[in-house]
Amino acid sequence: MKFKKVAAACLTGACLVGALGCGGGGGDKPKADNNAQSLKGKELVMYVSFHEDTAKELSKLFKEKTGCEVKFIRLPTGEAVARLQAEKDAPKADLWLGGTVDAHELMKQKGITTPYKSKFDENLPEKYRDKEGFWKGTYVETLSIGVNEQRFEKEFKDKGLKMPETLEDLLNPAYKGEIIMPDPAKSGTGYTFVSSLVQSMGEEKALAYLKQLKGSVAQLTPSGFTPAQKCGAGEFLITVNFLSDQTLVNNKGQKLHRTVFKDAGWSLCGVSKLKGGAHSAEADAFIDFMLSKEAGDILVKTTNGIACNPKSAVPEGLKPLNELPLFDKYDFAQAGKVKDELLAKFAAL
Amino acid sequence: MTESVSREKSGWAAELKVLTREPQILLVIGILFVLFACFIIYPFIKIILVPSASDWAAAFTGKEFYEAFWHTMASSLLATTSAMVLGFMYAYAMNYTEMPCKRFFQVVALLPTMAPSVVSGLAFIMLFGRRGFITWNILGLKTDLYGWFGLWVVQTIAFFPLAYITISGVLKAISPNLELAAQNLGARGFYLFRTVTLKLATPGLASAFLLVGISSLADFGNPMLVGANYHVLATEAYAQVVGAWNLPMGAVLSVVLVVPTLLVFFVQRYYLEKNSYVTVTGKPVSGLNRVTVSPAVRWMLFGVCLFIALTILLIIGVVFMFAFTRTFGYDYTFTMDYFVEGVLQSASMKNSWIASIATAGITTVLGILLAFLTLRRRFPGRAVLDFLAMLPVSLPGTFIGLALIMAFNSGVVELTGTLTIIIIGMTLRQLPVGYRQAVAGLSQIDKSMEQASTNLGADSARTFFKIVVPMLKNALSISLVYSFMKSMNTLSTVIFLISPEWNLASVNIMSLANQGFLTVASATAVGMMLTIFATFGLAKLLLRDQINIFDL
């Protein structure tokens, strides 16, 4: 009797799942099949500012789904920006994938990208996409304090210091000359740190804090990634940069203690369609694909970032976006507007 | 062409009139001018037009600008001087002494040119930096290489090979008979060295100084890695473009780099044109042995060479360790995985090879042609051609790249994304080396041999191929070997020129290193060194005595 009940329940469950699956997929499936036929033999050229393996996995899955060949080269955000501007009159790519969203915003203003309204736009919360459809977010990068665990245990723990996890901790004179962070004038990561502080603390307080911190910082690097690397190698004890970079170093064996501090600044990595690219329909299809849960899962798996699509999984050991102590009101547009002014103030500190 | 120019000054007209007797030469000169106008002047104008007047004003009022300018001058002068001193000692030891292990020294001296600076610079930091394997782990020293001192050391190592091979070429071309004559007249030791050898080597040394100096002005990789808060113009320009997204400001900073080049260029030109340094005169010298140095000097030089060679080997050794152990510093298990991933499964090495071979060939041919024309023929615009050939080396590579895509992205000549544009970029970068080597070689050879050939009825082309080219074997070899190696791992110039179809190994290496994949980056660098060695082996096998590879 009991067995029958369980079996029946299982069966019902299976049917339900099947029905849901069919129902859910019903709308999508035929379209996907259409895509598979229409894009077979077509190609798409992308400039990618993600890490190489992320781009590889995304293009592989996209090809499986649509049959479209994807060609790409990897360009760090800044190089992509320079190149897109130089190629403006006759773009050699169709899509720019990755790179912080302030850069995508700039490309929008310069008339280099073109809007695309996807029927899957709703997959993303509104704050993670451009209102006019120029760019869509893919995943969120959050700032974090990273500490070289091995060095802290060996050299600092005995002095009665506790693991630095807050912005206040960084001001401890014991860490003078041991902190490395990206240069706000040259790295988007660095600027995110400065501008989010100014927005969350208010300018006066933030600049006072930064002045004190600057005295302890050994190096301001041009690249957002370098601090994590040098901190991992033990050259410096503390890094302030994006969490995903720190996680990358950590997962390679150089252990970094990572803390997303209170009111941490964050940034989005975006995707934009380029105006005048040769493969317009393919670019649209790829943006549709980037809005899907599967694409989000790949991003999470390969970048340790948190996908903008709330349906995608959260990276191991991390909390979902709404539970992180991020500075929720961070305003990209405002940050971009005051950039020159703020950088001049930072330089004068 | 002839008519349009001959309407100009009368001096030009006279020169042109002589030239019309040799239509081939006129044609070649015409083609060179067109090429230079297309691929140097046009892109340069394109990028110089990017900044507005206010951008220029902004640059010259900022204190960062002056700081970066002086840093550039100071670091470049320091590194050039030390690289020249070491390069001279090394070259002198190779050419004037009988010391053991010469072949070993000759091979090792070229290694820093074979490994991309991204990897060797990182290896240097891992060895001697704040947590350096040697300075920290073994000696327990607290060192910090970031800043001018570390930059000086790294740039010295980086530019040592160029100084060495250029100077070596010069010393080799000095005919021993003058030294023997001096010796017979009683000159000995340092006096002989100072009054004869050094005097004869002067134009070559000046040429080497110009070449090394200008290359180091635009050096980007080393200041990026170890300069840290010590900013120079090339890194500032790059950071302005890719960090602050300020292309105009980056253009201003790059164009400023042309000023010191102009200065060095005119000083050298004025200085060299005044004197004659001809030593190869066609009189028989075979069978004469070079004067050699005393044993004390020989062993001192041996010590210097050994020190340089060991430092280089140590750095390259670390690159190998990274490439073939799991995690250098933690887990020393041997592995081939990184090599397979970085070299065997990647198409970019082949692309790099094709582009570099093409570049080496074009550079060498163009270089010797240019040198022959500017030194041996009088024609209007000679100095312009001379300057244009040197101009690209003083610009940061990223700007050559950006200028090229701005110039050839659309319109009549659309080249972006092709192999052609990569080869053009590489050629612009290496042309000065090929050209300077040929100039140095040619200015040591007496005109009389060519005149003899002409008197015997040979035309310009025949004289060029039968007389000039064979005498410049060493200069040609240097140009081929060096521009091939340099193009294989050139980075800043090609960053903006690569495309999905034509990706290059050097860019891969930097991209991997920047993403923290130091192991695969090192393995790719090792693959690059092996590719270079294999190519040299093949060249030696095919060309035998027609090329010098390591005995430069």
Contact B242 A234 (CB under 8 A): no
Measured in angstroms, the CA of B272 and the nearest CA of chain A are apart by: 40
Asked whether residue A333 falls in the same domain as residue A204, the answer is: yes
ipTM score for this prediction: 0.79
The CA distance from B355 to B357, in Å, is 6
The CA distance from A205 to A197, in Å, is 9
- Model confidence band, residue B342 (pLDDT cutoffs 50, 70, 90): confident
The CA distance from B381 to A220, in Å, is 47
In a domain, A89, yes or no: yes
Q: Per the annotation, does A279 bind a ligand?
A: no
User: For residue A81, which residues of chain B lie inside 8 Å, CB to CB?
Assistant: 242, 245
B229/A contact by beta carbon, under 8 A: yes
- Model confidence band, residue A45 (pLDDT cutoffs 50, 70, 90): very high
Which stretch, A66-75, A302-311, A332-341, B392-401, has highest mean pLDDT?
A66-75
Domains of chain B: 35-546 (1.10.3720.10)
User: For residue A71, which residues of chain B lie inside 8 Å, CB to CB?
Assistant: 500-501
- pLDDT (0 to 100) of residue B453: 84
- pLDDT above 90 coverage of chain A, percent: 52
Contact B247 A220 (CB under 8 A): no
Using CB atoms, pick whichever of A185, A225, A252 lies closest to residue B514. A225
The answer, yes or no, to whether residue B337 has pLDDT greater than 50, is: yes
- Provide the CA A58 distance to its chain's centre, in angstroms: 15
What mean pLDDT comes out for the span B323-342? Answer: 83
B501/A contact by beta carbon, under 8 A: yes
Least confident of A91-105, A199-213, B466-480: B466-480
In a domain, A212, yes or no: yes
Asked whether residue A145 falls in the same domain as residue A285, the answer is: no
User: For residue A304, which residues of chain B lie inside 8 Å, CB to CB?
Assistant: none
- pLDDT (0 to 100) of residue A213: 96
Q: Chain A residue with minimal CA distance to B403?
A: A86
- pLDDT (0 to 100) of residue B17: 76
A181 DSSP β-pair partners = A220
Compute φ and ψ for A70, nearest 5 degrees. -120, 125
In a domain, A95, yes or no: yes
- pLDDT (0 to 100) of residue B120: 82
Q: Chain A residue with minimal CA distance to B62?
A: A344
Asked whether residue A220 falls in the same domain as residue A338, the answer is: yes
- pLDDT (0 to 100) of residue B441: 80
Least confident of A62-71, A159-168, A306-315: A306-315
pLDDT tens figures, B450-485 = 888 888 888 878 888 888 888 888 888 888 998 999
What mean pLDDT comes out for the span B330-355? Answer: 86
Q: Which of residues 108-127 of A touch B (CB under 8 A)?
A: none
Least confident of A314-318, B140-144, B473-477: A314-318
Q: Which of residues 142-181 of B touch A (CB under 8 A)?
A: 146
The answer, yes or no, to whether residue A22 has pLDDT greater than 50, is: no
CA-closest candidate to residue B180, choices B105, B275, B279, B259: B279
The pairing of strands A217-221 and A179-182 is parallel
Q: Chain A residue with minimal CA distance to B224?
A: A222
Q: Chain A residue with minimal CA distance to B250?
A: A82
- pLDDT (0 to 100) of residue B170: 84
Asked whether residue A205 falls in the same domain as residue A281, the answer is: no
Test mutation, B125, B130, B337, B495, chain A, max A CBs within 10 A: B130
Q: What's the mean pLDDT when you consider all of chain B?
A: 84
Q: Chain A residue with minimal CA distance to B240?
A: A186
Asked whether residue A165 falls in the same domain as residue A245, the answer is: yes
- pLDDT (0 to 100) of residue B286: 53
- Model confidence band, residue B542 (pLDDT cutoffs 50, 70, 90): confident
Least confident of A20-24, A134-138, B246-250, B282-286: A20-24
Q: Chain B residue with minimal CA distance to A190?
A: B243
Residue A67: Cβ-neighbour burial (10 angstroms; 0-12, 13-18, 19+) = middle
A72/B contact by beta carbon, under 8 A: yes
Using CB atoms, pick whichever of B131, B416, B515 lies closest to residue A233. B131
Q: Chain B residue with minimal CA distance to A233?
A: B131
Provide the residue count of chain A. 349
Asked whether residue A178 falls in the same domain as residue A75, the answer is: no
The CA distance from A64 to A94, in Å, is 20
B244/A contact by beta carbon, under 8 A: yes
- Model confidence band, residue B35 (pLDDT cutoffs 50, 70, 90): very high
Number of domains present in the structure of chain A = 2
Q: What is the DSSP letter of A324?
A: S
The CA distance from B396 to B390, in Å, is 13
In a domain, A17, yes or no: no
One-letter-per-residue 3-state SS of A237-261? CEEEEEHHHHHHHHHCCCCEEEECC
pLDDT tens figures, A177-196 = 999 999 998 888 899 999 99
Contact B514 A103 (CB under 8 A): no
Contact B515 A72 (CB under 8 A): no
Contact A89 B242 (CB under 8 A): no
Using CB atoms, pick whichever of B129, B239, B514 lies closest to residue A76. B514
Using CB atoms, pick whichever of A77, A87, A252 lies closest to residue B516. A252
Q: Hey, what amino acid is at B222?
A: N
Asked whether residue A278 falls in the same domain as residue A253, the answer is: no
Test mutation, A74, A88, A112, chain B, max B CBs within 10 A: A74
- pLDDT (0 to 100) of residue B287: 55
The CA distance from B248 to B55, in Å, is 7
pLDDT tens figures, A233-259 = 889 999 999 998 898 889 888 899 999
In a domain, A205, yes or no: yes
Contact B243 A187 (CB under 8 A): yes
Contact A248 B406 (CB under 8 A): no
Asked whether residue A160 falls in the same domain as residue A63, the answer is: no
Contact B402 A86 (CB under 8 A): yes
Least confident of A102-116, B373-387, B486-500: B373-387
Query: Can you point out the beta strands (E) in chain A?
Result: 43-48, 69-74, 95-100, 113-114, 135-148, 179-182, 217-221, 238-242, 256-259, 266-274, 306-307
Q: Which of residues 218-247 of A touch B (CB under 8 A)?
A: 218-223, 225-226, 228-229, 232-236, 245
Measured in angstroms, the CA of B251 and the nearest CA of chain A are apart by: 12
Using CB atoms, pick whichever of A52, A72, A220 lies closest to residue B515. A52
B511/A contact by beta carbon, under 8 A: yes
CB neighbour burial string for A308-337, b if at least 16 within 10 angstroms, e if fewer? bbbebeebeebeebeebebbeebebeebbe
Say how many CB pairs under 8 Å bridge A and B: 104
> Bigger pLDDT: B24 or B79?
B79
The CA distance from A117 to A115, in Å, is 7
Contact yes or no for B494/A65 (Cβ under 8 A): no
Least confident of A19-33, A296-310, B7-21, B121-135: A19-33
Using CB atoms, pick whichever of B247, B409, B416 lies closest to residue A82. B247
> Bigger pLDDT: B280 or A81?
A81
- pLDDT (0 to 100) of residue B3: 44
Contact yes or no for B430/B359 (Cβ under 8 A): yes
- Model confidence band, residue B288 (pLDDT cutoffs 50, 70, 90): low
Measured in angstroms, the CA of B308 and the nearest CA of chain A are apart by: 26
Q: What's the mean pLDDT when you consider all of chain A?
A: 85
Contact A90 B242 (CB under 8 A): no
CB neighbour burial string for B342-376, b if at least 16 within 10 angstroms, e if fewer? bbeebebbebbbebbbbbbbbbbebbbbbbbbbbb
Q: Which of residues 161-200 of A touch B (CB under 8 A)?
A: 183, 185-187
In a domain, A25, yes or no: no
The answer, yes or no, to whether residue B273 has pLDDT greater than 70, is: no
The CA distance from A164 to A261, in Å, is 10
Asked whether residue A188 falls in the same domain as residue A254, the answer is: yes
The answer, yes or no, to whether residue A202 has pLDDT greater than 90, is: yes
B504/A contact by beta carbon, under 8 A: no
Least confident of A44-53, A140-149, B450-459: B450-459
pLDDT tens figures, B187-231 = 878 888 888 888 888 877 887 888 888 888 888 888 888 888 898
The CA distance from B7 to B22, in Å, is 19
Asked whether residue A274 falls in the same domain as residue A247, the answer is: no
- Model confidence band, residue A168 (pLDDT cutoffs 50, 70, 90): very high
CA-closest candidate to residue B51, choices B399, B317, B385: B399
Domain that holds residue A47: 42-139+267-318
CATH value at residue A189: 3.40.190.10
What mean pLDDT comes out for the span B47-63? Answer: 86
- pLDDT (0 to 100) of residue A146: 96
In a domain, A233, yes or no: yes
Asked whether residue A289 falls in the same domain as residue A253, the answer is: no
User: For residue A89, which residues of chain B lie inside 8 Å, CB to CB?
Assistant: 409-410
Contact A186 B414 (CB under 8 A): no
One-letter-per-residue 3-state SS of B493-509? CCCCCCCCCCCCHHHHH
User: For residue B129, which residues of chain A lie inside 8 Å, CB to CB?
Assistant: 235
Test mutation, A87, A180, A195, A275, chain B, max B CBs within 10 A: A87
- Model confidence band, residue B70 (pLDDT cutoffs 50, 70, 90): very high
In a domain, A15, yes or no: no
User: For residue B245, which residues of chain A lie inside 8 Å, CB to CB?
Assistant: 78, 81-82, 103, 106
Test mutation, B224, B230, B242, chain A, max A CBs within 10 A: B242
Q: Chain B residue with minimal CA distance to A339?
A: B244
Using CB atoms, pick whichever of B238, B414, B516 lies closest to residue A248. B516
Asked whether residue A279 falls in the same domain as residue A334, the answer is: no
